[in-house]
């Protein structure tokens, strides 16, 4: 029996809808079964993380990497995977493991979207989470995405990192099961926000040379959107993310704090409740957003994914 907070996380959102490529998801589940570890392995057989390519003896390919890490919709990534399979002479909707050099280039968000979609296809409620992995660098929270999957045997949300393979586990010195991360190994954006509001150093949270209050706030709002079934790119900005922390008013801070308290990891929050949180004008996703690429900020119209009737800014 499923719990009240889990059935609606079987539903694909606009960014995780497979469309005509759903047979690929079905084929993977038919081959791998509903075992989360086996499904995560199939994700890694199709996607290679952009920052780990050299660890597998692969060239950087920056132009290709920029293009493929900016794929927003799962259906578009599956289209690229399908083309890679066809390039090997495999039949339509083939999902065999790809040679390393033919895997699509992605990041933690891309691994998480495909993993969540596969779990749902297997009948397991799943939702992507945005926040900070505490296992990449000592004393630092690294910008990261994982998946929460409903484990009915233990009646809880288990936290799984589908990106981590044996090489990464060894390099990072991780001794626990990446399919069932312990509490504190990953902090949601909201948990990091509340930690900083209680005195933690916001400069501990970020990636590369980017960190601080506004970085934490960005991951927090992206996490709320992901809980509502809207998994944006790690460098997409909208709403209150564009207001510097020092310019937030008391009502803004109150709303942020309340939303963070409502949505920690493993929260018994439904999709409807998450969507209600994101109905606040400060969090609501408009059709047009800003995204940051190497050349700077530019506006993106999400209508091809969200539809023309999605509220405009």
Residues 53-108 pLDDT 10s: 999 999 999 999 999 999 999 999 999 999 999 999 999 899 999 999 999 999 99
* Contacting residues for 117 by C-beta, under 8 A, at least 6 apart: 12, 16, 18, 25, 74
| Whole-number pLDDT of residue 110 | 98
| Whole-number pLDDT of residue 296 | 86
Residues 175-198 pLDDT 10s: 999 999 999 999 999 999 999 999
Residues 100-111 pLDDT 10s: 999 999 999 999
Confidence at 7, pLDDT banded by 50, 70, 90: low
- Mean pLDDT on 144-153: 96
Residues 272-313 pLDDT 10s: 999 999 999 999 999 999 999 877 899 999 999 999 999 877
């Amino acid at each position: 029996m499923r719990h009240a907070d889990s059935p609606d996380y079987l539903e694909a959102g606009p960014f995780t809808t497979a469309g005509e490529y759903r047979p690929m998801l079905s084929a993977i589940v038919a081959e791998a079964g509903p075992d989360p570890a086996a499904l995560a392995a199939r994700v890694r057989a199709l996607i290679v993380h952009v920052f780990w390519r050299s660890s597998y003896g692969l060239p950087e390919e920056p132009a290709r990497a920029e293009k493929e890490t900016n794929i927003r919709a799962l259906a578009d990534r599956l289209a690229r995977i399908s083309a890679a399979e066809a390039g090997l002479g495999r039949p339509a909707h083939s999902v065999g493991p790809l040679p390393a050099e033919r895997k699509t280039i992605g990041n933690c968000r891309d691994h998480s979207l495909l993993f969540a979609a596969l779990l749902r296809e297997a009948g397991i409620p799943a939702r992507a989470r945005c926040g900070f992995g505490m296992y990449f660098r000592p004393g630092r929270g690294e910008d990261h995405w994982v998946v929460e999957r409903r484990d009915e045997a233990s009646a809880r949300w288990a936290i799984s990192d589908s990106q981590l393979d044996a090489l990464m586990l060894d390099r990072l010195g991780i001794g626990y099961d990446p399919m069932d991360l312990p509490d504190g190994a990953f902090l949601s954006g909201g948990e990091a926000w509340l930690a900083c509001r209680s005195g933690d150093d916001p400069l501990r949270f970020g990636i590369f040379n980017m960190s601080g209050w506004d970085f934490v706030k960005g991951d927090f709002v992206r996490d709320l959107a992901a809980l509502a079934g809207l998994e944006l790119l790690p460098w997409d900005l909208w709403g209150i993310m564009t207001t510097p922390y020092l310019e937030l008013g008391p009502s803004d801070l109150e709303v942020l704090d309340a939303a963070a308290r409502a949505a920690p990891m493993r929260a018994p929050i439904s999709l409807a409740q998450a969507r209600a949180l994101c109905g606040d004008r400060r969090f609501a996703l408009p059709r047009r957003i800003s995204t940051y690429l190497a050349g700077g900020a530019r506006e993106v119209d999400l209508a091809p994914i969200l539809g023309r009737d999605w509220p405009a800014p």
